Amino acid sequence: MLNDLMTFAEDLHETARSSFGEGSGSPYYNDSFTEVVSGYLIEDGALEGIEPCYFRKETDTGRGAMEVFGYFVGRGGSVLDVVAGEPNRKAEVLRKAEVQRVLRRARNFVERCRQGVHLELAETDRAHPMALAIHRAWPDLTRIRIFLVTDGRVTVDTWDEEEIAGLRCNFELWDIARLYRLAASGRQEEDTVIDLDPPLAYLPVQGDEDYSCLLTAVPGAVLAELYDQHGAKLLQRNVRAYLQARTKVNKGIGETVRNAPGRFLAYNNGVSATASAVVTESGIGGAQQISRLVNLQIVNGGQTTASLHHLWTRDPRSLDRVSVPAKITVVGAEALDELVSEISRCANSQNAIKEADFQANGAFHVALEKLSRSLWIPAREGSTVQSRWYYERVRGQYQVDLSQQDRGAKQRIFRTENPVAQRFGKTDLAKYEMTYLGRPHDVSLGGEKCFQIWTAEVLGATEDQIIPDRQYFHELIAKAILFGRTRKIIQSLKLGGYLGQTAAYVMSLVVDRYVDQIDLDEIWRTQDLPAWLRGAIPGLAGDIVRPLLVDAPGAANVTEWCKKEACWQLVRASS
């Protein structure tokens, strides 16, 4: 097992090094490591997103030292996630004192952001925008989460909750063993176990041989607290992002809670959920009750859940009289993906869902996966060694396939034929396509949201779903190379933060200006960019794109500015 962990740790570092072109130890490598590891947490649902930004500041005593690897303000601005890191441990043990040191430094940074540490930093400091964003977000925060990510092994399982200026602060420890379990399981998420106290009364309904149903009513505050604790992970299989309070239905939910909370059960369609297992018990008078849910997923009713959470964070007592009808389908893992997709498709939805929203496991992705296992890239001149670009349709497939090879020569051959640097997933696919289509503002929304938009508006835009062929695969990989090389070049310029956004905008601008000169077939054949294109990127990045990105109108948040189409139109119109 230790050998597996050491190998996986090296895979993480190789991905960071090869994808972003930096050696270990530099701030830019730490950003790369953060992005690679956080990718697992985002797909798991533990993190909503990440803005990598390594920052470290020592003090004379060391007690007030600060060190963070990135941050994200999510849940409509109510939750601050901060990533603390300890890379380059290569499966070595991190003792409790070391974990405490890493978490304390991250906590110090959060506290100093509240106090205004951005005022002590030069505006050109790469950490200044991060510190300013956290300071501005503070009045609306209800919770802080600090994630320790490391390729070492921690000796503690949990860390006690604390408070920072009156806000709850939770700590999550993600070491190499936990990351490996997630990657090697072939699943998209870790098991989530929810203990209900008090238990929920329910009525059983006999289903087919591969599932059963439980009908219950969940107190609104309980549902809001579950979302507060588990966040995106609770909605991992829900096809829609929270639309906030701007839709008619979500506004109606708020009005019902305020004006007629006791009638919520009658007015609302409730939630449809799945679970891989439940634990039940007999209550008073023999009533059947649910005491534990394993892998609860709300597949329809995510809008209701998130809207109630929004109201609850502002007034916890507002949901005291609210009950939400719920249907919980208990289904084994072997039928989970198929059944959840059909439940999502057929359930009575409160906000319309396009048919394309259900294509994540459809024919397109299956066909692309098959192509990636069969098509070899051209061998370099003078060499007979060939390799493939490996499409990971479900996160963890690569590690599962690797583990199925005999250790030693066969695993080395697998790595040679399928280099970790040539592995890409569905959110990467969407990023390459949307950037090439001139939509860097959508790419800047984050991997999962970008994938949702691409699925609905590009993949689902034709009557017949696109089925990729050899030519499509060649062009897709050329776009991947274009994006990756562009990013490496920009990183070598050391312009500061916002590397991901800058890379997306530069690639879109390259395509916008030189599309008639870009030969995707040539990029596929050479697996590299032509010299003229490599020469054009630094000027576009340093002289045009980044100055326009960081000069957000009205001193607005740069990250939010990059998500707006107006930002792209300004960049596109630049001379």
**157-181 tens-digit pLDDT:** 889 999 999 999 999 999 999 999 8
212 has which bridge partners?
330
Residues near 326 by Cβ (< 8 Å), separated by ≥ 6?
A: 215, 216, 217, 218, 270, 271, 272, 273, 301
Is residue 514 within 8 A of residue 540, CB to CB? The reply is: no
**Whole-angstrom Cα distance, residue 421 to residue 4?**
19
Tens of pLDDT along 29-59? 899 899 889 988 887 778 888 889 999 998 7
Q: Give all strands (DSSP E) within 59-142, no chain letters.
A: 66-74, 79-86, 93-94
Q: For strand 277-282 and strand 167-174, is the pairing parallel, antiparallel, or unpaired?
A: unpaired
Q: What is the CA radius of gyration of the chain?
A: 24
CB atoms within 10 A of CB 58: 11
Alpha carbon dihedral 530, 534, 540, 542, in 10-degree steps, equals 180
What was the pLDDT predicted at 527?
94
End-to-end CA distance of the chain: 56
Residue 439 has a pLDDT of 98
Query: Which of 294, 293, 324 has its CA nearest to residue 199?
Result: 293
Q: What pLDDT score was predicted for residue 356?
A: 35
Asked if residue 509 lies in contact with residue 540, where contact means CB atoms within 8 angstroms, the answer is: yes
Both tokens of 426, joined, read 């569905």
Rounded CA separation 501/45 (Å): 22
Task: Enumerate the β-bridge partners of residue 205.
Answer: 213
Per DSSP, 347 falls in state S
The residue type found at 179 is L
Query: Could you say which DSSP state residue 543 is in?
Result: I
Using CB atoms within 10 A of its CB, is residue 542 exposed (0-12), middle (13-18) or buried (19+)? middle
CB 142 within 8 A of CB 170: no
φ, ψ for residue 539 (rounded to 5)?
-65, -45
Chain centre to alpha carbon of residue 479: 22
Each domain of the chain, given as residue ranges in start order, spans 2-184, 193-353, 355-575
How distant, in Å, are the alpha carbons of 148, 152, 420 from that of 485? 30, 30, 16
At residue 446, the pLDDT reads 86
Q: List the alpha helices (DSSP H) in 347-446.
A: 363-374, 397-403, 409-417, 426-436, 440-443
Question: Residue 262: enclosing H or E segment and its boundaries?
Answer: none
Amino acid 297: pLDDT = 85
Q: Are 262 and 320 in contact (CB under 8 A)?
A: no
CB 183 within 8 A of CB 8: yes
pLDDT below 70 — which residues of the chain? 19-25, 60-63, 185-190, 232, 236-250, 333-361, 381-384, 461-465, 575
